[in-house]
Amino acid sequence: QVQLAESGGGLVQPGGSLQLSCAASGATLGGFHYAAAWFRQAPGKERERVACISAGDGRPFVADSVKGRFTISRDAAKNIIYLQMSDLQSDDTAVYYCAAERLALSCDLYRSHEYKNWGQGTQVTVSS
């Protein structure tokens, strides 16, 4: 029902910045029904939600591990969700995924298995 496509990943030096984009079609993210989230997964680690925007009110949440460095935002007109990342560190290296789901409550209450709609992922590598 909803299709997602991430872009913007790449190689960046420690302390650098990147902006990831998630373009959606078929539904409005952060609108009346669909929450949107950014997850990341590094080798040997569990998939981690780093940020999300709730359905309805569009309230943003950022995980403690990236708070102060990452910001999630929404362009409602273009139906794009952004993840602005700054002061990147080697531990931020991961595949970053965009996800969307019809969630009734605040998006910070849900884990990865609650989301059924996923993009293909985009690689972010932080290295000198």
pLDDT for 21 equals: 98
C-alpha closest to that of 113 among 94, 92, 99: 99
Residue 82 half-sphere exposure toward CB, CA atoms < 13 A: 11
pLDDT for 57 equals: 87
**Hey, what are 88's tokens?**
């990147």
Low-confidence ranges of the chain (pLDDT < 70): none
pLDDT for 25 equals: 92
